[in-house]
Amino acid sequence: MKQKRRVRVMVAKPGLDGHDRGARIIARAYRDAGFEVVYTGLHQTPEEIVEAAIQEDVDMIGLSSLAGAHNYLFPAVVQLLRERGADDIVVCGGGIIPEDDIKTLKTAGVKAVFTPGTPLDQIVKWVEENVSPRS
């Protein structure tokens, strides 16, 4: 029987912050939604994340940052994807991100930003509506 295209996403922790509880919970929610979730672990550089995303052929990268460096790290991932001709990969982010920064990040090409307290099913729904498995 024909296999159906499955959504593949990557959950990544860029930079130096060492807390990946949120990232793990998100990964679990994605799995329960039927996505294949590649998890990269902590302390990743934007370069490592982009390279992994390309090798894994994911449809989306979800970046998690709690340490305040999101204004550098998130746009860096978007920019590198562009340079590699892989800007069809959707980038979204989550974590402790001030309201003002969200606008900046969206201008830089981050498609969505989820702050603490966002219900998991709302995030999953956003992915289902905005990320399609490659056709």
Partner 1 sequence: MSSIAEKVVAGDIRTVARLIRDIDDGMPEVREVLKELYPHTGNAYVIGITGSPGVGKSTLVDQMVAHIRKRDKTVGVLAVDPTSPFSGGAILGDRVRMQRHSMDPGVFIRSLATRGHFGGLTQSTRSAIDVLDAMGKDYILVETVGVGQDEVDVVRSAHTTVIVVIPGMGDDIQAIKAGILEVGDIFLINKADREGADKTLSDLRLMIEMDQKKYEEGGWKPPILKVEAVFDKGIEEFLQAVDQHAAYLAKTEGGLDFRGNQNKVREELREMVKARLLEEALERLTESGEFDRAVESIVKKKVDPYTACEDLVLPILDQ
Cβ proximity to partner 1: between 44 and 65 the closer is 44
Residue 62 CB, nearest approach to partner 1 (Å): 13
What residues contact 33, with CB distance under 8 A and at least 6 apart? Answer: 124, 127, 128
Residue 102 CB, nearest approach to partner 1 (Å): 28
Residue 16 CB, nearest approach to partner 1 (Å): 15
Cβ proximity to partner 1: between 39 and 108 the closer is 39
Cα pseudo-dihedral 96, 15, 85, 58, rounded to 10: -70
For 54: left if phi > 0, alpha if psi spans -120 to 50, otherwise beta; the answer is alpha
Cβ proximity to partner 1: between 10 and 78 the closer is 10
Give the residues lining the site for partner 1 (CB under 8 A): 1-6, 8, 27-28, 30-41, 44, 47-48, 51-52, 54-57, 84-86, 133-134
